[in-house]
Structure 1
Amino acid sequence: MATNQRPTARDSWFAPLSIDLVLKVLYVTFLHPFVAWMVVLCFRAEHMAWDAMPIRVSIAYASIVSAGWILAAIDRRIAFGPPRNVDLSDEVIVITGGASGLGLLIAEIYGMRGASVAVLDVKELDNSEARGVAFYKCDVTDKAQVIKAAAEIERDLGLPTILINNAAIVNGKRLLDLDFDEIDRTLSTNLASHFYTLKAFIPGIARSELGGTIVTITSVLGELGAIQLSDYAASKAGVSALHRSLTAELKSSHPHIRTVLVTLGQLSTPLFHGVQTPSSFFAPVVEPIDVAKDIISAIDNGRAESIGMPLYARWVGWYHVLPLSLQKLARWASGVDTAMASFVGRRTAADKALAKKRPGVLIEKS
């Protein structure tokens, strides 16, 4: 059957090529200390004198690269402190919005690796046979349900040690087209629920001798805002501010608890079907598996961390340093205010049932 769909940048042969991929290759080759010093040794293996220009240049280059890695390690240690010890057989991981998407991916990986995993969601698991994953039906916007789920998890699995706040929704409407119920729902799910889960689970994490890790997933839109995403952007800005305040509080009251902030650009999820990135090279769409790898790496190594994906998500804070005229130019060049014009989204059966009660609401399992 013929279709009238136009090919997109993501369908082309060069779609996987991005600035993030280029940097990833550079970090394990020319920008890696081992490779840089190997160049020096290769020149020396050719019996080149130590004072020869190629040797001197390569030594200077290797020294600069090594110094960069050392300073980066010192910076992370000062910013985030020492890592905690992690033994997956003793960890109890709680994931909100974990019935599908990124949340379910992380849950399945940890379940297969021997950790105890609890998923909180209003819908059933996409994979009902996920090994090592316990499902707790819970609406995270309901304080009573969250408190009840926390008590059941502690009874069934033990004291929680890792909390991943992943659940979120998006309406995809202009502010004047939103009704009050939709606004309340977005702010409750995307922001207020974080307060509820943190209040419910941190006391248990604090009692655990293992320490703990709290992962917060937010969006670059919390820094930028965008047309048709006013409620979503406002909630994500609140989440980022909450995380930073919580991190400061825990450092003084519970220094054994680590915090991880994950700031994402456009995530490859059916929810954002139809939204086109203006540049697959400079603003590539992020795949859930890549996000999961970085989150799991931070948790496994017991590190506090600030993760930004793709590259521009790590530098988005500098946007506010630009003169206002350049900010306007950057918004035009990035297409942030036109991206939602092609927004389609995709609803599951559960989402359609919810839509009957709240027309226009689309569930995001990040």
Structure 2
Amino acid sequence: MATHYTTPPQRDSWFAPLSIDMFVKVLKTSFFHPFIAWIVPLCFRAQNMYWDATPMLVSIFWAAFVSSCWIVGAVNNRLAFGLPREVDLSEEVIVITGGASGLGLLIAEVYGMRGAAVAVLDTKEMENGEARGVTYYKCDVTDKDQIARVAAEIERDLGTPTVLINNAAVVTGKRLLDTPIAAIERSLATNLTSHFYTLKTFLPAIARSPVGGTIVTVSSAIGHVGAAKLADYAAAKAGVTALHKSLAAELRETHPQIRTVLVTPGQLSTPLFYGVQTPSAFFAPVVEPVDVAKAVIAAIDNGQNAAIGMPLYARWVDWYNVLPLGVQAVVRGLAGVDRGMETFVGRAGERQVGVGKGKGEPLIQAF
């Protein structure tokens, strides 16, 4: 059958870096930072301003308020995530599903260069060929027998796994009525069921590790709100989030030495959603994989439990479902979340039509 290629529209512009996330980051490191806030009253005092002067009192109140917020935030994180575990990269064996490209490959390369033993599981060859410290295992994570075989090879070649990063994903990008059952089954198997397979396979080994371990689950903000042409993907990601939260609750009781990290990104600039245009570059900027990778690596390095949401709206997306239904409909329309997939192309800018099992089924798989 013929293969059709579509070039996605360009989205870069001179104001592309400007977003609400950038402004929030600047404010957190300036106006809302305790150190900066306390400099103001100190500067007033250096000018011999009296302690009871109005500017002095206002600046002291603001500095105390900001400091209190930071303290409350630190206490909240400690209550939510507990104490960190000690991490020695020379002792860590990191397993990454879907690590041949995109976010998974970035994390794999960083840890490989830093001395950890890294195993990448994917159906595709690694984009950059070989990477230092990274061992590639060809594995379809929807096949539990393949996972079991590869797990035995990893234990033999690298040692007992201590970190599992469930990152594999596929996107069909079609309306539900146009999606063949086989494509739906493949999507749910890759995006959801594979998490159960990898956890059942690798978690017992991680639990045996004397240094503890970390489970990283890559979900999506779409799992909280859904979107047109993403019914199968959204359903799977909602299930993944629920699975992670339930697993984290179990591990807190039975294996407190194991840390859990939930990653809930918005749209990533990876092949998974190639061609998709963000409805608002200011309020919903496209997230660069390197930024998510840095946050995931920091959580693993520090031995922390964590919940990572990028960009800003991904950290507050749960509040959307609290809004009245009428307000949700208005917000949904303004956000354009259901129009985003209209420009979807797929991996590497190719949309292969007419080569799948079902008529018009795209064979697009990306991680």
TM-score range relative to shorter protein: over 0.9
> 1:44 touches 1:50 (CA, 8 Å); kept in 2?
yes
What CA deviation, in whole Å up to 9, does each residue of 1:153-206 have, x standing for no partner? 111111111110000001001111111110110010000000000001111111
Look up the match of 1:50.
51
Secondary structure of 1:303's partner?
coil
**Partner of residue 101, structure 1:** 102
Instruction: Please report how far the alpha carbon of residue 52 of structure 1 lies from its aligned counterpart in structure 2 after TM superposition.
Output: 1.7
Shift of 1:55: 1.5
Residue 346 of structure 1 deviates from its aligned partner by: 3.1
Match of residue 362, structure 2, among 347, 360, 365: 360
- Tell me what 1:192 maps to: 193
Give the superposition deviation at 1:361.
Answer: 3.2
Q: Say whether residues 1:62 and 2:63 are aligned partners.
A: yes
1:328-360 CA-partner distances (Å, limit 9, x unpaired): 0011011011111122223489x9699555731
The aligned counterpart of 1:220 is: 221
Task: Map residues 131-142 of structure 1 onto 2, 5 A cutoff.
Answer: 131-142=132-143
Q: Partner of 1:283 in structure 2?
A: 284
SS class of match (2:84) = coil
Alpha-carbon spacing, 1:98–1:357, altered in 2? closer, same or farther (3 Å): farther
Q: Which structure 2 residues correspond to residues 138-149 of structure 1 after superposition, within 5 A?
A: 138-149=139-150
| 1:281-326 C-alpha deviation (Å, 9 max, x unpaired) | 1000011011111111111111101111110011111111111100
Tell me if structure 2 keeps the 8 A contact 1:355–1:362: no
Structure 1 consecutive aligned stretches of length 4 or more whose deviation exceeds 6 Å: 351-354
Could you tell me which residue of structure 1 aligns to residue 25 of structure 2? 24
| Matched residue SS, 2:309 | strand
Tell me the SS of whatever aligns to 1:279. Answer: coil
Contact 1:33 1:65 survives alignment (8 Å): yes
Residue 123 of structure 1 aligns with which residue?
124
SS of 1:168's equivalent in the other structure is coil
- The equivalent of 2:163 in structure 1 is 162
CA drift at 1:141: 0.4
1:293 to 1:355, Cα distance in 2 relative to 1, 3 A: farther
1:33-71 residue CA offsets vs partner (Å, 9 max, x unmatched): 111111121111112222222211111111111100100
Aligned partner of 1:364: which letter?
A: A
Distance of 1:337 and 1:140 partners within structure 2: 29
In structure 2, how many angstroms separate the alpha carbons of the residues matched to 1:128 and 1:353?
A: 28
The change in CA–CA distance for 1:6 and 1:204 in structure 2 (over 3 A counts) is closer
Higher relative contact order (CA 8 A, sep 6+): 2
Counterparts of residues 328-347 of structure 1 (less than 5 Å): 328-347=329-348
Distance (whole Å) between structure 2 residues aligned to residue 345 and residue 129 of structure 1: 25
Instruction: Say if 2:292 and 2:310, in contact at 8 Å, map to a contact too.
Output: yes
Query: 1:123/1:206 Cα in 2 relative to 1: closer, same or farther (>3 Å)?
Result: same
Secondary structure, aligned partner of 1:94: strand
Q: What count of residue pairs does the alignment treat as equivalent?
A: 360
C-alpha distance in 2, partners of 1:97/1:164?
A: 9
**Whole-angstrom CA distance in 2 between matches of 1:6 and 1:134:** 33
What aligned pairs does 1:247-258 form with structure 2 within 5 A after superposition?
A: 247-258=248-259
Q: d(CA) in 2 for partners of 1:228 and 1:37?
A: 50
Shift of the 354–111 alpha-carbon distance from structure 1 to 2, 3 Å rule, reads farther
3-state SS of 1:362 partner: coil
Q: Which whole-Å CA distance do the structure 2 matches of 1:123 and 1:354 have between them?
A: 21
1:312 corresponds to which residue? 313
Amino acid in the other structure paired with 1:266? Q
Q: Secondary structure at the match of 1:252?
A: helix
Contact 1:347 1:362 in 2 (8 A): no
Q: SS of 1:286's equivalent? A: coil
Q: Contact 2:103/2:293 (CA < 8 Å) preserved in 1?
A: yes
Extract unaligned runs of 5+ from structure 1: none
For 1:281, what is the secondary structure of its paired residue? coil
CA contact (8 A) 1:277 1:339 kept: yes
What secondary structure, in the 3-state scheme, does the structure 1 residue paired with 2:57 have? helix
Name the SS for the 1:308 alignment partner.
Answer: strand
Q: Could you tell me how far apart the structure 2 residues matched to 1:353 and 1:91 are?
A: 42
CA distance in 1 between partners of 2:347 and 2:126 (Å) = 17
1:129 positional shift: 2.5
Provide the rounded CA distance (Å) in 1 between the counterparts of 2:51 and 2:324.
48
Q: What's 2:74 paired with?
A: 73
Offset, 1:27: 1.1
What CA distance in whole angstroms lies between the structure 2 residues aligned with 1:6 and 1:164? Answer: 30
* Larger mean Cα displacement after TM superposition, 69-78 or 336-345: 336-345
1:160 alignment partner, SS class: coil
TM-score, normalised with respect to structure 1 = 0.94
